Amino acid sequence: MLDSTESLKRFMRVAELGSFTKAADSLGLPKASISLAVQQLESKLHTQLFHRTTRKVQLTPDGHLFYEKSKDVLSEIEELETLFISDDSQISGVVRVNLSQPMARHLLIPALPAFLRRYPNLNIEISSEDRKVDLVREGYDCVVRTGEVAETGMMMRKIGEMQQTNFVSPGYLAAYGEPRAIADLQQHTLIHYQTSSNKRFDAFEYQLEGELHRIKMPSRICVNNTDAYRAACVAGLGIMQAPKLGAMEMLNSGLLVEILPAWTAPSMAVSMLFPHRRNLSKRVRIFMDWLSDIVQNQLTPR
């Protein structure tokens, strides 16, 4: 029989991913070993932890309670295991982080080799997508978000600001000319953006004397992810307002150009969120402090 700590880890990964197969793949183990660990826990606890169907796996009410308690237990165990480690470079384990594709590509991943050399026993799982993930349910140690953050039960650390600017392609300029003042926008189109929560950005935003102004603009296209947003701008389909970080390569290569530099949207706050736990493990604290420094060094400090 597996030791209790290992069984808890396997149970939690199934709970977070909603799949025995995905849990096995993420842990590099056979699916049968994951199923056995959960079965042993259920037998020991005399309760059913998951509702299992051919299409999905969901926690039962008892499973939800056990999951929340298990997080605290594992956190305490990890804290005990590292209590007397004086050399932080010997810290081991996995850190799961979620952040946007541009931040993963341009900030985190280029700096990661040096971090992993410093902490050779740490492994990092990176998720980068446009949708808003459920940090607790999906089992992330921390997430980095831009813009307004309004979530209960989470701890938040503001770590910087991301500058925004206005972009078009050279082809767009050739076809429609360059807007040089706000009044010129009447003759132009904006690429609309819709978030995973169905919030639609359909107005040109700019700051003037500390006040935010919005100008509704027509569009021939609406997209729902950052890759399509940049691709639409490169294709000459309209004006894009976005953080400069994600468009830097396209600016340098000439695929995009900046316009209306005096009328840009406000900078976007960059925040790090993590579960409201009594004790964060040392490996997570080390990673979060390092990532905070990376963001602060590369972006405009708050």
Return the pLDDT at 277: 61
| 274 located within any domain | no
Residue 204: beta bridge partners? 215
Q: For the chain, how many structural domains are there in total?
A: 3
According to DSSP, the residues that pair with 126 across neighbouring strands are: 97
Q: What is the Cα–Cα distance from 219 to 239, expressed in whole angstroms? A: 9
User: Greatest CA span in the chain, whole angstroms?
Assistant: 73
Domain with residue 30: its CATH number is: 1.10.10.10
Tens-digit pLDDT profile for residues 235-286: 999 999 998 888 888 999 999 999 999 999 988 888 888 876 655 778 888 9
Q: 163: which residues sit within 8 A by CB, 6+ positions away?
A: 243, 244, 245, 264, 267, 299, 300
**In-domain check, residue 219:** yes
CA distance 212 to 146: 18
Say how many C-beta atoms besides its own lie within 10 A of residue 108's C-beta. 21
pLDDT in tens, 93-108: 888 898 888 888 888 9
Domain housing 187 = 164-266
- Joined together, the tokens standing for residue 286 give 């080390």
**Residue 222 and residue 92 share a domain:** no
Quote the pTM value.
0.70
The DSSP call for residue 179 is: -
- Claim to verify: residue 75 and residue 12 sit in the same structural domain: yes
Q: What is the mean pLDDT of residues 151-161?
A: 79
Using alpha carbons, select from 114, 237, 225, 111 the residue that is nearest to residue 175: 237
**pLDDT value of position 249:** 86
Ramachandran category for residue 46: left, alpha or beta (phi over 0 → left; psi -120 to 50 → alpha): left
Does the structure show a pLDDT above 50 at 1? no
